[in-house]
Structure 1
Amino acid sequence: MTDADKPTITPSIKYNKPKLYHHTWTLAIEQLRKQEGDRFELYDLSKREPLETLTEVLKATNEKKDECIKKRWKVTVRGRTIILRDVLEKIAVWVDKLVVFGDIAIQYDPVSAALPWAAVRLIMKATVNDVETFGYVLQSIETIASMIASCSIVERHCLQPEHSKMEVFEQLSKSVVSLYVSILEYLSSILHYYGKNLVVRFIKSVVLSKTDLEAKHSTITTAKKEVWDLLQLAESEKSQSILASLENVTASQSAQSSDISSFSDELGKLEEPTRRIDYHVQVINDNLERNLRAQILTAISTIPYGAHHKSVRRGRLKDSGQWLFKKENYKLWREESASSVLWLHGIPGCGKTKLASIVIDELGTYDNLAYFYCMRNPAEPERAQCRKILASLVRQLACQGTDKPILPPVVELYDDAIAGFEGFEDQHWDTEESKRMLVALMEHYPTATIVIDALDEVELQDRQELMDVLSQILQESPNLLKVFVSSRDNYDIALHLEGSPNVYIDADDNAGDISAFIKDQLESARLLRNNLPDSLRDEIIETLIRGARGMFRWVDLQIQSLRPLKVAADIKARLGVLPTTLEGSYWEIYQSILESGDHAAALANFAFQWLMYAKRSLTIEAFASIASSALSSETKSTFSGVEVTDVCSNLIVVRGKAFEFAHLSVREFFEGIAKRGIEAFIPTQGNCFMSIACLRYLTEMLLQAPGIVIETIYDKIKVSSPGYLGVRYAQRTRAESEARQRSMSQFVEDLTSGPQSESIIYTSHFWVFHARNSSNLREAEPLSKVIKDFLIDLDLFLIAPTFVLWCEILHSKGPDAGLLSADELAWENSKVISQPFHPIYLACANGWYDVIRYLYEVHRLDVEQHEYTNYGDMVDNAKAWSNALEHAIIKGNVLIVESILSCSMNPMRQILSRKEIEPLVLAAKSNDTSMLSLLLEKEHGGSEIEGRAVIMAVSNAHKDSLELLIRHNPQLLRDIGIGRPALLEACKLDDADIATILIEKGAPTEQGEKFLFHATVRSRTNLVKLLLQKGVGKGGLDKALITAVSQGDEENAHILLHHGAQREKGAVVRSIRAGLIDSTVRLIKAGFDVQGTYFEKQRTSLHYAAEEGSLKVTQALIEAGATINSYDYDSQTPLHLAAQRGHYACVKLLLSNGADVLARNKHGKAPLDLAEMRHHLSTADLIKQSTT
């Protein structure tokens, strides 16, 4: 960014130029020169015009800011991490504000007024060697800049000639001069450590420490306090002068009022929060089209945060909540150049969310802002989930709108999607990814603010995770980050935010807002037909203010309770008995609802149940449609959305397209109402009635299908499930069948896309969820009957059209997770809605054993009615049952398996015939003894399958399953094809118990050398002991000893020797030839033979070691006493073989141990000859040297 791109000084406000009574800066300089004498170094600094000096200050400040950004400078002051970039940003802003508000001093006292800024310019050009000290200097300069700007306004309004008659005038003048003196002294003390050049080295803290600076700066703080105290006296004196004036009182008041207003306005503008704008972000171009940008943002998060904000802002009184911005903790949090959290907390109903919306509106003007309104609502679970909240924040900070660019860190993640190689939804925004991205995005902003409202409504686990992540982002953010959190006084939140600035909403704080709210609501309520006497109005206001204790919600409820009253006396009487708590107010309202009529009460109760447990938000009209079906009696009732709102009093509200509880406290009231003896709202009761309502609505809507659709369904059922064949079905042409299928598809499409689609889709997706969460109430009437009627048409012994159409809806729209049981398995997801549709899958997926039994009873009745004798002959129907059984076995669901096997005649036969799984083996593998016992009692495949189950149990060390199988068939292990493999598997494990069982129960142990070998090679000491004790594998002792020694297994080697193992003479040679160096060394050290000659060449172990060039083995053989000059069949010594191969190190070792260099083989060749023939020159030279 060039200097031309950065802010320049462009005064936007011009004032008249009154004569400046005092040249305050000149007086301050003169006073300082008298005090300091020659040591005062500031006077000659500024020879330029004031605006030129300020422009240079701005330029130097921006240059230093760029350096801060590049080097990521941060300092720690009193435990707070200060972002120096932000301090410099504020200094630049103060320079600009000085020009706007302080032009009088600059124009009438140009050199003196510009003097401190000339010093600031020098400081900005300093080379920084100590960031900590320089950081403190910058903070103090920012404070000084704000004081100079403020004092310029004070001089304009209090130190002009017309103010000279004020008693406090001289004292105020002197205090301003004293403040300027303190400022100049401070700047002079810093510049004392500079040179005369523009760019100087900043002295390290060993010379100028923060402690020194703090001490010098304290005089400025003291002087400022004196100025501000006197300023209050001056304002008071100016106000009193109005009262003292008797002539032209109105004009005087008007002039004085205008002056005070102007003074306040200027100070207010001066104190406006700093606008922190990053010009880098403004010029970024992501090269994306608007629709592509929208796709990326939608892929990150679909939560309508903007709509939530608009909803909260609705009904907010103008100018409410302004008291918050005057709180010291808020101002400190807002202006401090340190990343930090501000916690706004208070009791329920005190307006925290409205205040958060006010903060969002306020900060959105100045900062890069992301916000989130949390809510505890099952219909919108994403509003209380950490990862969803963070993803929404990412979306907001990634791009300020679809017409603005998306920042590079996010675009990079979607490069493949933009190129068309993958879908935008493939990028998964989990908590860790969102945290990483938020930190990355902070690189692009000088500052950002995150507002989280209603943190207490996030579930505890997610809340802890969210607070931890926000803390990590605060720590890792490269630039300034502010976090604003509102919540109730939850202990975990208070503990986590301990030490952070906080604002508690006290009744005194929002008393003005409460009073305004009461008056506004009374105006809207139009009590007594808008003829409320003033005295009664005042009494109502006074009573409500006294009882509110800061709670807007309580006030709202009490005014609502006054609306129905028709006479003033009743209102006065009501004021004397107002409930004191929110909970008491809700109970009163609920009691009146119950007394409003049976149908109205039932509708209200259902609405409350719905809002307690619904999984998605619905429009109130969609809910009314469902309620009309759910609550219908013999006389059909149709409810409207208006009626729903009316019967629920003001406990529910319509926000946007959805209806919801008016406040979290309403939900909490119904969650706790059981203590008053009302159980309709406990989870099982609520979910039970919601499931009934969904099924009644679905049944009503689905049975409106045209006759041709119903006929098509019955045709499909009869064709695919001969077990239901009650009547002959008509043979239809292919064209006719396709036409009928199109009719059914069109009916489903119309149903799921028409005006009733919202209700249809919700009830289709979630009736199963609500049934499952009804607990034992699902198995009792009325819900159990409603479910069975929905699944089966008992009149025809057929699957009901309602069930088939429901499956068609899910098949076309996709099932929701709520359809399935808690594990949400993919198999269940596909099978429940796969064709041919069958309710057994639904029953099994959710563990509905009573429904499984019911389905079988219906099938059995149908079979008996039509004289079927073999259930297995009903091919497709039996296949459905066998598929369900197979899945239950794979997942280890014993109760489902038992339920199916106890019902149907023989579904296991199809499973076994398909040979895709072996149930018994699967049960043994998972050590599911309950499943194993159940299967053993049924047809399971015979002894061959039992044998494989035994081997599977042994290989997985499942002792319980093994014993169960043996008890079932004691002769099983005697089969050599079962017992031997099982014992061999046991020997590979270190489980002596299982091996003992196998041996004692008859597993064949002949030719047991293999068992002993496998136990030894795996160092299974317990198994080696057991086998030898049982006399198994005695013939393999010697081989086992070689194996144990080769592996360095001294314990097993000792055991084997104890049981008579002999050291085989050729073991060392075989090990050398196998290249097992370490094993060979161990055998040699264990005393195995090293002198014998072997094979046709009659070579010793040393011959083979020398030939291989194994120095380590050669050394071990020599140490073990191997003959150095032994001859083989060809009269060659080990030295011959080593020299011929050029094994220099071995040759050297052999020579050093007395190898004969003159020995000749049967061809008359000495070792030297062989080395030279093979061109091993270095080896030959070594041999030659040994002969000299």
Structure 2
Amino acid sequence: MSVLLLEEVRQKRELCESRRWDVSFQGNTFRLSHIADKVIAWLERLKAIGDIAVNTDPIHAQLPWAWIRMLLQAATADRETMGSLLVGLDKVFYFIDLCKVYELLYPHDPEMEHAYLNLEATVIELYALILQFLLIAIRAYEGNRYTTISTAFCTLDCINDYNARFEAIVPRIDYAAQNCERCYSLLGRVSSTDQYKSLKRMLEDIERVKALENELRDANNRVQSIWLFLENEKRDDVLRWISNIPYEDHHTLARAGRTGGTGGWLYKQREFQDWQLSKDSMIFWLHGIPGAGKTKLVSRVVDEFLHAQGQKLVYFYCNRNEELRRKPKEILCNFVKQLSIADDQTVIHDSLLQIYDDRRQRGFLSKDLSLEESEALLTQLISTYPKTILVLDALDESEEGSRQGLINYLCRLVDQIQNLKIFISSRRDEVIASRLETNANVGIDATDNQDDIAKFVSQKIDEDEKKRANPISSELKHDIVRILLDKSQGMFQWAALQVTELLSLDLESDIRERLGCLPADLQYAYNEIYQRILGSTGSKFKIAARALQWVLCSEKPLTTDALVFLACQDPQTDTLITPYVDIQFILESCSSLLVMDSQQFCRPSHLSVNDYFENLWGIGICHANAAKICLTHLIVASSQLSQGCSKYSAMVDNFLPYATQHWFVHIRKYEHYIRNTGEKIDPRLSQLVERFLGRVGESGPAYRSWCERCEHLPGFPIEDLKPFSNPVLAVCRFGLHRVPLTWWEAERIDPKQTNKAANSLLVLTIFSENEHAVQKLLSLGEDVNRQLDGLLCSGTALGAAASTGNREIIKLLLSAGAQINQRHAGGIYGSALVASVANPEGRKAAQLLLDSGADINQELDCGIFGSALAAAATRGAGWYDNTSIHLLLRAGANVNQALTSGNYGSALAAAASTPISHETIKLLLASGADANQRLIWGKYGSALAAAAFGSPANISLLLDAGADVNQVLTSGLYGSALAAAAYSQTKYSVKLLLDAGANVNQKLTTGLYGSALAAAVAKKGADKEIVQLLLDAGADVNQKLASGLYSNILEAAQARTRPELYEMLLGAAIRKNQRNLEYISLEADEYKDRKSA
């Protein structure tokens, strides 16, 4: 029966969601679909333990499930009835689940007679009250079988009365259950261990779901703390969208090999205890030298907090070898992901779902969250938990250019939010130290982790004993531990390298000899290993060097198969080489400097390995060689296709995706390296790039094949590279300003070229955010104020720079003579200031532009926004970012400026048209925005008409602010707010406006439709329910239309509507106007003729 009930409740949930029904109960407003979610949650838990209950619980088994289903079927289209029933069932199923678990936890036992009988009596009393409650509904139903549940039951006051009686019994049940727990535990009479644990977890889960009631408040307030149950598929889509970084895998990797019992010294530190126990929000900073074991300590901290009750733990391990794990935006997005899901993974936070749905409705035009959006969302999510612990490992491995901003944000968090603890680990870094030393911090000194190192070395020796032919004597074991402990100076990595080296020796005499000549520190240890690799026979050094270089510079972790292939490739040849070694050969050649993790990825054994070889070889050499292999790969792939192959060979196919996405990344990093070191460009790399690209005026086949492959890459800026016949577009778009060498040295690149979207080479270079490349284009004589007139272009170079938010490039352009208030002749912005506030990344440059003299109320000639304030209101609207709006208002933005370009007509209309803009609308209204301003430009004509395309909540806000529901509009496509809502096909918005007094037959003087009903039926795929809603409100089907594309309603319906809807309107017209049957008959005959034709 629970399966049938689940299906019935799900259907009711869909009905409540489609009608956006709310209900007020006990002084709070709840969304009915959310109450239905809770009922579904109770039934799912009921189902999970149902078989056990039915076999052991005759009272429960005889509950009238069929009657409950009948009640659900009877509650149909009435909000009050549905609200009463769902709120009641929420209570009923909660108590049934609670009693059910108690009965299974504490079965009858003669030795516990008194405790058991007390629990049994209170459970029976609660069941009796549940039956009384259901009996009222059943009698009401029986008394009015052919309508709906009668009004005798349909009052929340009745439920409120029963709820009070329910709640009075609950403390007595809890007391009786706690008494049983004590008695049964004392005598060891609990159920089987597994069953007992499962039931206790179920009890905790029931209480957690019950606690959601405290969060389901004010359904129309979209910035609240609401948890939603989602279908698995959608939940997974949302979570993948926010972050794909497998943080749990990284924790598993970090804790792998951690010696048991190590790290305990940290918990004894006074600073750590102060941080942990303080009621104030605090940052704790763990710092130490390379190789001190910081990440292992962090993994111990994560494990310690992972299952602690009453707090939410989120964690992240930075890694400079993986691009995504270096970027602050990705770090914060991953924190958002962890905070957005409950610990049992079944519910997701509503605030994340809102922004996901908003992006989805807009077609993911802005795919990812910006850094600022991530910060704002993270701040809100942390505030929803009673206590949050945020752990960030290896802060020094985050992106250097944006690290300071990340630190500043974390410091602001602890200033703004209560009950937040942040744990950060890093090397000792001056920038980090300058900001974090004032917080609680502990440095790992040589004496702190001595016990940990001793345990680690002893464990390694013990593990080695099992496979050693001649066991190591106790005396030698003691000497190994003592000497390594003495010489390690707190460096775990040094100790790990030396114990591995020692245990590779068979004879005790050799081990003692080695103990007498250990390297002084990590640098000497790596020197020793490298010299050994250098002296290897055969191909070992060559293979080891290539493998290490690839692992150092790869843009993504390399699998064992990938590394085997790459280590066999020679960057100085033009062919691909079939692999001739295996992974074991590579690992042995690298002599413990490379390891293979549990996921079959190869990585350096420690970050200090990266440091050593970057200093030895220079990271630029690694990137240059990687770029050569990628380019050779792409050229060979193109050659295979040109020779008529239907598909690539397996050898080419496996590495092709990496080469496609990263060849230019390696070149750009190489260029950065040689700019800093002053080294000359690798001539072979420059020649390979030119061979791949083709000629300046005409691309080569390899480049065109690459472009075609990139068309299928999500998020790739492929439109910027069209037409594919011009390879200079890619050179500029990716900021390559040193290669191809001959192109730049001979000044063969014409800066006046544009791409298909009319963006200039200078604009494309600005998009690369490489200020040196921008300077190169300017040096070729490009006009910094050149106007671009493409529909989707950036307008000017300064507009492009403002959209990226790159302050250094903006300063460079201004110093080169860029006009701060130049009005654009084409493109989507209209001005540089608009370009800044219209883009999440661009907003950080808004203050710089204002300081440089940008006109905040400038009238614009083009663009989709019309003003800077309108751009900020629509692109930054919602709970997640009103910073730009505050900035513009403080700087003097006219909140009622009448706009003469763009889609909106005013800033308030721009905000109202955006679904999740409630806080923005409130802010603009509080700043003096006129809810009844007549607009002279744009699609809507008024803010209220624009809100019809935003959300019902936006309409409510404007109505509360005095918006005239029947205002006569003089511009826009719709003529009235009701017509706009009807065309938008939003039933709840139409009903809201009708309830507020909208005249359903208002004669419209502007717009395309002439009346609200015409607008509803003229929409392709018109919603029959909306049409019926308007007809029920008195819409006149025979109304003559004074404006718009159609002369009457039926003409509008003929043009766009489904046949069945047209017939419905025709029937309504006949009923409405029996006196004009001749006209109606003529219309019907014409319709039949067209239908038969």
Largest Rg, 1 or 2: 1
TM-score range, shorter chain: 0.3 to 0.5
Greater fraction helix: 1
* TM-score, length of structure 2 as denominator length: 0.46
* TM-score, length of structure 1 as denominator length: 0.43
